[in-house]
Amino acid sequence: MEWKERLRDERRTYILDAAAAVFGEKGYERATMKEIAARAGIAPGTIYLYFKNKRDLLLAIADNLIAGPVDQTLAEAVGLEAGDYIAAILRDRIQFARENRAFIQALVTQIWTDQELRERFFAQIMGPLFAVGAHYMQTQVAAGKLRPCRVEVVVPAVAGSIVILSALRALMPEQLLPGVTDDELIDELTRLYLYGLQPRPEES
């Protein structure tokens, strides 16, 4: 990679890190591009060479913090059995939510109120992740390791519950299951997703 491209990538990373910090501290609406530029150590106008507006910045951060790591986790877990696959995703998302609590709060608030941002978030970030999960599940069904199901229903349902529970556990740690460890939570949810509320064959 040429030094100009390397510099551009590094500057983009500085901007995203600065924006994530400012959004987390002040919220999306109160944060300004000038503050973000100051945090990144660049001139305010430089940001616009990389991002058109705050909405583009927020989506880029979400892609960097959510889509990229989840893609990596899914790629590493693709050869695992279904239970281990689900557990790996749960562990990754719980840790992510805990480490990025302030940004998640800013993101959720803005997605809830900004229709364009919400549509772009689901199209650009969540949609591709659902597709990867659906492909894995279809492969497992074809191999006889999971029962036939409506994959287009099951994948968003499981993914949505993982995202919401991870976020709530990070945002309200003293209210939501304070006496339950991450390992206990992951084990119980993995069993729920795999077997529902019916007894497992060996428990019947």
Cα–Cα distance, 107 to 122 (Å, whole number) = 13
pLDDT tens for the chain, 204 residues: list them.
587 788 788 889 999 999 999 998 988 999 999 999 999 999 989 999 999 999 999 999 988 888 888 888 888 888 889 999 999 999 999 998 898 888 888 888 888 899 999 999 999 889 988 998 899 999 999 999 999 999 999 999 998 898 888 988 888 888 888 889 999 999 999 999 988 887 765 555
Token representation of residue 37 = 């530029």
- The answer to whether 186 and 90 have CB atoms below 8 angstroms apart is yes
Q: What is the pLDDT of residue 203?
A: 55
Q: What is the pLDDT of residue 84?
A: 93
Q: What is the pLDDT of residue 1?
A: 57
Buried b (16+ CB within 10 A) or exposed e, 117-151: beebbeeebbeebbeebbebbeebbeeeebeeeeb
Domains of the chain: 1-51 (1.10.10.60), 53-198 (1.10.357.10)
